[in-house]
Amino acid sequence: MTVTVRRMHTQDTESVLRIDEKITGRPCEAQWETRIIDALARNPLGCLVAETEGRIVGFILADIRGWEFAIPKSGWIEIVGVDPEYHG
């Protein structure tokens, strides 16, 4: 199986929400979609999806921060999700 990682686009939001629902077993809360779109606007380089055979099977939302804790800027992973069918 070949997996490709690419930048996330706003059109990928629905696929990301479906993966999260599969992981948690419950529908996403209303603010989840807005949170994804905000993350894409804030730091598009930190929002990635993994695809195989044209299907999104994973995602990551990350950011570059540091000022909150008086530390040098560094990468922060907010959430990672992998479709349970592709775990392992």
What contacts 33, CB < 8 A, 6 or more positions away?
A: 13, 17
Question: Which pair of structure tokens corresponds to residue 29?
Answer: 């809360």
Flag whether pLDDT at 55 surpasses 90.
yes
In this structure, how many other beta carbons lie within 10 angstroms of the beta carbon of residue 63?
15
Average pLDDT over residues 38-42: 88
Average pLDDT over residues 48-62: 96
Reported pTM: 0.85
pLDDT, residue 74, reads 82
String of DSSP letters for 43-76 = -GGGEEEEEETTEEEEEEEEEEE-GGGT---EEE
Q: How far apart are CA 49 and CA 63, in angstroms?
A: 15
Q: How far apart are CA 17 and CA 36, in angstroms?
A: 9
pLDDT, residue 3, reads 95
Q: Spelled out in words, what is the top-level CATH class assigned to the domain 4-86?
A: alpha beta
Flag whether pLDDT at 63 surpasses 80.
yes
Tell me the domain boundaries of the chain.
4-86
